[in-house]
Amino acid sequence: MNTNILSVFTRVRQAARTFDAFDDTEHMLCHLAGLLEENAGAILAANRQDLERMNPADPKYDRLKLTEKRIADIAGDMRSVAVLPSPLGRVLEQTTRPNGLEIVKLSVPVGVIGVIYEARPNVTCDVFSLCVKSGNACILKGGSDACYSNKALVELIHQALAHCNMSRDMIALLPPGRESTLDLLNARGWVDMVIPRGGQGLIDFVCRNATVPVIETGAGIVHVYLDKTGDREKACAIINNAKTRRVSVCNALDCLIVHSSRLKELPSIIGVLADAQVLLHADERAFHALAGHYPADLLTPADESSFGTEFLDYKMAVKTVDDIREALEHIERYGSRHSEAIISEDEANIELFLSSVDAAAVYANASTAFTDGAQFGMGAEIGISTQKLHARGPMGLNELTSCKWIIRGTGQIRP
Amino acid sequence: MNTNILSVFTRVRQAARTFDAFDDTEHMLCHLAGLLEENAGAILAANRQDLERMNPADPKYDRLKLTEKRIADIAGDMRSVAVLPSPLGRVLEQTTRPNGLEIVKLSVPVGVIGVIYEARPNVTCDVFSLCVKSGNACILKGGSDACYSNKALVELIHQALAHCNMSRDMIALLPPGRESTLDLLNARGWVDMVIPRGGQGLIDFVCRNATVPVIETGAGIVHVYLDKTGDREKACAIINNAKTRRVSVCNALDCLIVHSSRLKELPSIIGVLADAQVLLHADERAFHALAGHYPADLLTPADESSFGTEFLDYKMAVKTVDDIREALEHIERYGSRHSEAIISEDEANIELFLSSVDAAAVYANASTAFTDGAQFGMGAEIGISTQKLHARGPMGLNELTSCKWIIRGTGQIRP
């Protein structure tokens, strides 16, 4: 690790250690939101420098691009986080032991949180507001595609921190390049957790190379199972919403599992997907049921690679099963433990599905598009955890805290 | 990964997936406790095979050795875990959203838990009872020193599982050798978390080599700070208890930090440590204060290596400070975030210490020997986490669970 990076890590650790999150964080974030709006011109100029280096046909182009409206949205989100209740100092457990020891488990900041992300400059601001609101310092490693935009944003964040007499080291932006990513992933003692936000490739790279704790987020291979008794209207609406509301998000539908008794109705239930030009990869029985009813250029036979794929596109696999057990096995085999849904009017099957499926969010008769911090009532989220430790599903402010046991005695010793 | 190990991982994953923890786990564990007692002779014979391969002077010998009494203790602990309330199915959060979605966050098993430990056969039984009670399967990698003992114990566990019509794959014992450790640490998709139980060397090896999530446990560099106003009697008792109750445990005292105004009394406050032959590594001022009062052969000048050392022995460093700030800085620099204590009658200093010190357990006027699951009222523990994610401090049954969001709707879609 070079001395520059080491000095960044040391300063951020020190800032985290001495930061008092109750001291005016709300005010600082609101001030920052104002600064973002006032300096929209400078932010957009920096953003243009990034955009000029990217091919507008690149799907990342739209995620990289900022506008006056997007800056206003970022500022608005920041004001919303600013006024959320603090997640710190919550009494998680409390007990007085027979020997008189008073034991309290309190929520405390995690410390220093590293976030590795791709070309989305809004993430820079989202991560900072959530981290600082929960008392954490953050070290950001943004995509090199967004480096001018990120620099401009972090400069304003530094201004806001300075304005409120807070340490500017509550946030640090690492230089582009894989070397600083590797330093961050191995900063044991300086960094308490790292959250990768991006595709499966990034997540795998992080898990393979990190010696600091990692929260895996994101990748979602999402199924909706239409059961024998599933309501036709609900099915139409849920499948269409889960697939086409936003295809680039992790909770978007990837594979419809259909009970064989529903094959006859399948064309009318999912016909609406053709309006959005959704390409179907259908297994043999579903293909047979759809052929002649669904546009031929949007219907293709499924092969093994159709299942277990996160499409992030106007594409969907269709799998036919003869009972719920087969559906559960398919999800167990191909799902990524993100969001899974059943459409059914059979209470026993609903309960079996909800209890058996091993995923962060399991739905009965609702769209998987709801897997989102704001939709769950958390206010905001830093990502969606698809692993089982520390946090699972949308990660809001509470999930950015750790805990500490505080024990008050009057001289007790252990026999 | 060789096909044998792969088939073990696959079978354990399958067992975890289909296990129903509410179905008779209490009965199975009580039956197993009985089996352990009935088969004490066979267990002791296997244990002798292990002991014969070890030098009795090895400090591990005593930890490896089983006796009738120790087997009865293991069975007793198992019965205690058996009757603890289940940590599963707890409603962690619950909300009905304005759109009518009913959202519940429930505690669920983690899945498959790997545990890597050294030559302590009792850990085999402790880990199994805690894991199975919380609905988890476990994969054990015990020290090769204990391989006959562990085999005998796991055989009885398999008998108990079979007796209750439960899958024997709820537990697997990996063959000795580093290769299977590495397989376990990289079993992404099969293993949900790994807990290393052992010294700092094992923990570092695991963190460097694991791609599955790890919970760091154990290593404790523990401080007690005797403040200007600390009560003399309490100080005597707490320091002696924290240091000498059991020197080989992670919550044992390693470094006494003493306020300079208390140096004159120091010989009388810690004189009792000489009875237990505690060797002191004292900084210059403390050495001067102790010289002539504490046995010369047990008093040595501290050097830099005296601080930040987990002694696990009848040894203790002594550091002199001029105020609480200096004590806090010393702990920040040398502590391992395990257990730290202040002895003081000054409320402001107590609160400053409790809020500033970043450790799993922070004490005022009590012995650090209390950092232990049973002492905190958790019933039992699988280890003491010194990291900040998922669990911090003693890990009981609740800390062996994950969660799942269950969402019940009536056809809701997201606008």
Q: Which of B95, B370, B377 sits opposite A377 (nearest CB)?
A: B95
Closest CA to B367 of B199, B197, B246: B246
Residues on chain B touching A110 (C-beta within 8 angstroms): 388-389
Q: Is residue A346 part of a domain?
A: yes
pLDDT tens digits for range B308-361: 999 999 999 999 999 999 999 999 999 999 999 999 999 999 999 999 999 999
Task: Give yes or no: residues B235 and B205 share one domain.
Answer: no
- Flag if A375 and B241 touch (Cβ within 8 Å): no
Distances in Å between the alpha carbon of B10 and those of B155, B169, B403? 20, 10, 23
Strand residue runs (E) in A243-391: 253-259, 279-282, 299-301, 315-321, 339-343, 361-366, 384-385
Tell me, yes or no, whether A385 lies in a domain: no
Q: Are residues B238 and B110 in the same domain?
A: no
Strand ranges in B150-261 using DSSP code E only, listed in sequence order: 171-173, 193-197, 222-226, 253-259
Could you give the 3-state DSSP secondary structure of residue B382? coil
Half-sphere exposure of A133 (CA within 13 A, CB side): 31
For residues A42 and A112, state if they share a domain.
yes
The SS3 of residue B255 is: strand
Contact A407 B363 (CB under 8 A): yes
| CB-CB neighbors (< 8 A) of A376 in chain B | 95, 97, 103, 405
Does residue B133 sit in the same domain as residue B249?
no
Q: Is residue A298 part of a domain?
A: yes
Chain A residues close to B369, C-beta within 8 Å: 413-414
| A170 shares a domain with A39 | yes
3 state SS of B296: helix
Mutate which of B389, B395, B400, B408 to test chain A, going by most A C-beta atoms within 10 A?
A: B389
**Burial (Cβ within 10 Å: 0-12, 13-18, ≥19) of residue A381:** buried
- The CA distance from A143 to A120, in Å, is 8
| ipTM value for the complex | 0.93
Flag the least confident range among A134-138, B5-9, B58-62, B128-132. Answer: B58-62
Phi and psi at residue A259, to the nearest 5°: -70, 135
Q: Three-state SS for B37? A: helix
A191 within some domain: yes
What does the angle CA B195 – CA B197 – CA B203 come to, to the nearest 5 degrees? 80
CB contact under 8 A, A237 and B411: yes
Which CATH number covers residue A141? 3.40.605.10
Q: Which residue of B362, B366, B414 is in closest CB contact with A404? A: B362
Of the candidates A380, A407, A406, which has an alpha carbon nearest to the alpha carbon of residue A394? A380
- Full domain range(s) for residue A267: 222-370
User: What type of residue is B21?
Assistant: A
Whole-number pLDDT of residue A69? 96
Pairing status of strand A384-385 against strand A393-394 = antiparallel
The reply to whether residue A411 touches residue B237, judged by beta carbons under 8 angstroms, is yes
Strand ranges in A12-166 using DSSP code E only, listed in sequence order:
91-96, 102-109, 112-117, 137-141
Using CB atoms, pick whichever of B97, B363, B392 lies closest to residue A409. Answer: B363
Give the mean model confidence (pLDDT) for residues A57-67: 89
Pair A132, A25: CB distance under 8 Å: yes
- Residue A208 shares a structural domain with residue A234: no
Question: Which chain B residues are closer than 8 Å to A407 by Cβ?
Answer: 361-364, 366, 370
Listed residue (B271, B284, B338, B273) closest to B310, CA to CA: B338
Q: Is residue A143 part of a domain?
A: yes
- Decide: helix, strand or coil at residue B97: coil
Structure tokens at A210: 């990190």
- Which of A15-19, A150-154, B219-223 holds the top average pLDDT? A150-154
Position B281 in a domain = yes
B312: how many CB neighbours lie within 10 A of its CB?
17
**CA-based nearest residue to A184, from A2, A403, A398, A17:** A2
Q: A282 and A248 in contact (C-beta within 8 Å)?
A: no
| Residue B194 located in a structural domain | yes
Residues A38 and A171 in one domain: yes
A379 falls within a domain: no
pLDDT band for position B23 (cuts 50, 70, 90): low
B157 and B176 belong to one structural domain: yes
| CB of A368 closer than 8 Å to CB of A251 | yes
**Residues B239 and B203 placed together within one structural domain of the fold:** no
In chain A, which residue's Cα lies nearest the Cα of B390?
Answer: A390
pLDDT digits (tens, 9 = 90+) for A212-223: 999 988 789 999
Distance (Å, whole) CA A111 – CA A131: 9
> Do A199 and A242 lie in a common domain?
no
**Beta carbons of A103 and B392 less than 8 Å apart:** no
State pLDDT tens for residues A248-303.
Answer: 889 999 999 999 999 999 999 999 999 999 999 999 999 999 999 999 999 999 99
Residue B394: what pLDDT? Answer: 94
Same domain, yes or no, for B126 and B156? Answer: yes
B77, B141: one domain? yes
Q: How far apart are CA A256 and CA B230, in angstroms?
A: 68
Rounded CA separation A156/B265 (Å): 55
Residue of chain A whose alpha carbon sits nearest to that of B355: A406
CATH number of the domain residue B307 falls in: 3.40.309.10
Q: What tens digit of pLDDT does each residue of B88-136 get?
A: 999 999 999 999 999 999 999 999 999 999 888 999 999 999 999 999 9
Q: Report the pLDDT value the prediction gives residue A22, as an integer from 0 to 100.
A: 67
Query: d(Cα B327, Cα A377) in Å, to the nearest integer?
Result: 42
What size, in residues, is chain A?
415
A291 DSSP assignment: B
**Total domain count, chain B:** 2
In chain B, the residue whose alpha carbon lies closest to the alpha carbon of A203 is B211
Whether the pTM exceeds 0.90: the reply is: yes
Backbone angles phi, psi at B65, to 5 degrees: -70, 130
